[in-house]
Amino acid sequence: MPSTLPSTECMLVVRTDFSDQGAWEAVRAAIGEPDEGGYLEDYMLGVEYVDDVTYRELPVEQVVGLLTDDYESSLLAVVDEATIRSPEMPIVLVDLNELNEEYGRTMRVVPAELPSIEVNVHIGNMDFFEFADNADEDGVFRGFPE
C-alpha cells in the first residue's frame, strides 16, 4: 500500500505512469514553459512533483485518498498513462475545494494551461468549474475560445 502524499502548500503533480521517462520529462518541461500572462515565476513556487514508483498505476481516486488532511491546494494533478501516451500530454486535474458542490470533479488539461488554472483558482479569481465547463468535447481544456 502506498504511503500518504507529501504535506505541502503547493499543488502536487503526481506521476502514476513510469513507462516513458522522456515523456515525463516533457510533461514537466511543458508545465514550466513561460505563459503570456507572466504567471510563471509565481506559479512555479506552487508546484511540487511526486516522482515515486510507489504510486505506479494508481487510479486518480486512490491518489486523492492518499492526500493528508493538511494538504492546502484545492487542486491535484495526476500524470497517468493517457498523459504519457498522448502527444498533447493532457494531465488529469482534480478539484479538491470542499466548498464546491462538485468536489472531486476531474478534467484533463494541456500542460500549457495548467499555470493559468492554478493561479486563477488559488487567488479566487475563477473556480474549477469555469475551466471544466469550457473543456472540449473530449474533456480536455485547451484554453478559452478567442
For position 64, which CATH number holds?
3.40.50.800
Task: For residue 55, give the DSSP letter.
Answer: G
Say how far apart CA 125 and CA 130 lie, in whole Å. 10
Instruction: Give the pLDDT confidence score for residue 98 in this predicted structure.
Output: 84
Question: What is the per-residue pLDDT across 101-121, written as a single tens digit (0 to 9) for each?
Answer: 889 999 999 998 998 898 888
Residue 143 belongs to some domain of the structure: no
Residue 141 belongs to some domain of the structure: no
Considering only residues 34 and 64, tell me which one the structure prediction assigns the higher pLDDT: 64
Please give the residue range of the domain that contains residue 97: 11-134
Domain count, the chain: 1
Instruction: Give the pLDDT confidence score for residue 83 in this predicted structure.
Output: 98
Residue 111 belongs to some domain of the structure: yes
Q: Which value, in Å, is the radius of gyration of the alpha carbons in the chain?
A: 14
Instruction: Give the pLDDT confidence score for residue 101 in this predicted structure.
Output: 81
Considering only residues 3 and 106, tell me which one the structure prediction assigns the higher pLDDT: 106
Residue 125 belongs to some domain of the structure: yes
